[in-house]
C-alpha cells in the first residue's frame, strides 16, 4: 500500500476538528449563559453517578482560559490525527475518551474532573509512540514535532499543581500508549523499493541485465524489429496504394517549355 493511500488531504481533515471545537464552545456558551450547573456532570471517581462524566466531562470547562488552551491543542492534534491516521481517527477519539475517562474514575481522587485535556494526552501519547513503533519516516517526523511542541506536558501527569486533574492526564497518557500497541496493522507502512520486495529476482530485473557478474556495465544488443505480416487483403491493398504514391515536380526549363517529371 503506497503512501498516497494513507497521506491524502481532504476537507474533512479541517472540518472534523472544527466541528469538535465548535461543539465544545457551544456547550461552554450554554454553561456560562444559561445553566452553570452542568459543570457538576464531570467525572466523580469511585462514585456510580460519576460514571456519566466519562462521556460529558470533555465538553465541560472551568473558565475561558481553560477552554481556550485546550481548544488550541485539540485543534492542532486532531488535524494531525485525521491526516496521518484518518482510518482510525474516530476510533482513537471515541475509545480514547472512554478508556481515559475510566482510568480517571478508577485512580482519581475525590472531586469533579472536567475538561478535554484527557483526550489531548491520548492524542499526544498515541502519535508519539505510534510514530516510533511504525518506523515510517513521516510518522517518526510527526512524533518529533509532537514531542517538541507538547513534551513539557509530561510533568502534568504528576500531582505538581493543585486543582489540576493529573489523574486525567495520566489516564490519557496510558490510553495513548495502549492504542499505539493495539493499532499496529492500521497505519501506513514504509515504502519499499522493488529490490526490497521478498519476491525480487535479480535475473528478471531489466536494469540489472546491463551489468555482468563483475559489476561492469555492458551494452545489450537491440533485438531486430520484424514487421508483422499483413493478412487482411484490404489492408494490403491500402498499403500498396500508399507505396505507389507519386509526387510530381514542376519547374521551368525555359520561358516557352514546361516539363513534368514523374
Distance CA 190, CA 96 (A): 26
- Cβ contact 255:249 at 8 Å: no
Question: What pLDDT, in 10s, does the model give residues 75-118?
Answer: 999 999 999 998 899 999 999 999 999 999 999 988 899 999 99
- Cβ contact 119:93 at 8 Å: yes
Show the cell assigned to 176: 495513548
H-state helical runs in the chain = 3-6, 12-33, 53-56, 64-84, 89-107, 117-134, 137-150, 166-182, 233-243
Distance CA 36, CA 40 (A): 9
Give the DSSP per-residue string, 79-107.
Answer: HHHHHHSTTTHHHHHHHHHHHHHHHHHHH
pTM for this predicted structure: 0.70
Q: How far is CA 195 from CA 4, 24, 210, in A?
A: 21, 50, 16
Within its chain, how far is the Cα of 45 from the centroid? 36
Average pLDDT for consecutive 10-residue bins of the chain (262 residues)?
A: 59 95 97 93 93 95 94 95 92 96 92 95 94 81 88 90 91 95 68 55 61 64 50 51 56 50 44
Amino acid at each position: 500500500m503506497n503512501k498516497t493511500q494513507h497521506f491524502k488531504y481532504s476537507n474533512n481533515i479541517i472540518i472534523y476538528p472544527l466541528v469538535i471545537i465548535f461543539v465544545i464552545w457551544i456547550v461552554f456558551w450554554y454553561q456560562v449563559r444559561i445553566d452553570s450547573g452542568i459543570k457538576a456532570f464531570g467525572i466523580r471517581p469511585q462514585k456510580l453517578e460519576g460514571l456519566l462524566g466519562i462521556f460529558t466531562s470533555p465538553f465541560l470547562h472551568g473558565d475561558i482560559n481553560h477552554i481556550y488552551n485546550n481548544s488550541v491543542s485539540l485543534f492542532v492534534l486532531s488535524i494531525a490525527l485525521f491526516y496521518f491516521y484518518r482510518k482510525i481517527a474516530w476510533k482513537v477519539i471515541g475509545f480514547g475518551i472512554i478508556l481515559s475517562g475510566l482510568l480517571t474514575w478508577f485512580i482519581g481522587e475525590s472531586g469533579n474532573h472536567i475538561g478535554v485535556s484527557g483526550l489531548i494526552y491520548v492524542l499526544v501519547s498515541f502519535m508519539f509512540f505510534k510514530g516510533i513503533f511504525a518506523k515510517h519516516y513521516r510518522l517518526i517526523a510527526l512524533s518529533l514535532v509532537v514531542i517538541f511542541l507538547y513534551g513539557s506536558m509530561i510533568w502534568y501527569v504528576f500531582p505538581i499543581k493543585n486543582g489540576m486533574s493529573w489523574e486525567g492526564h495520566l489516564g490519557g497518557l496510558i490510553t495513548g500508549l495502549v492504542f499505539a500497541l493495539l493499532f499496529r496493522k492500521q497505519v501506513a507502512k514504509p515504502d519499499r523499493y522493488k529490490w526490497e520486495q521478498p519476491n525480487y529476482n535479480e535475473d528478471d530485473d531489466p536494469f540489472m541485465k546491463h551489468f555482468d557478474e563483475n559489476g561492469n556495465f555492458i551494452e545489450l544488443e537491440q533485438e531486430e524489429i520484424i514487421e508483422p505480416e499483413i493478412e487482411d487483403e484490404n489492408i494490403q491493398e491500402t498499403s500498396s496504394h500508399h507505396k505507389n504514391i507519386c509526387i510530381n515536380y514542376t519547374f521551368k526549363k525555359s520561358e516557352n517549355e514546361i516539363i513534368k517529371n514523374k
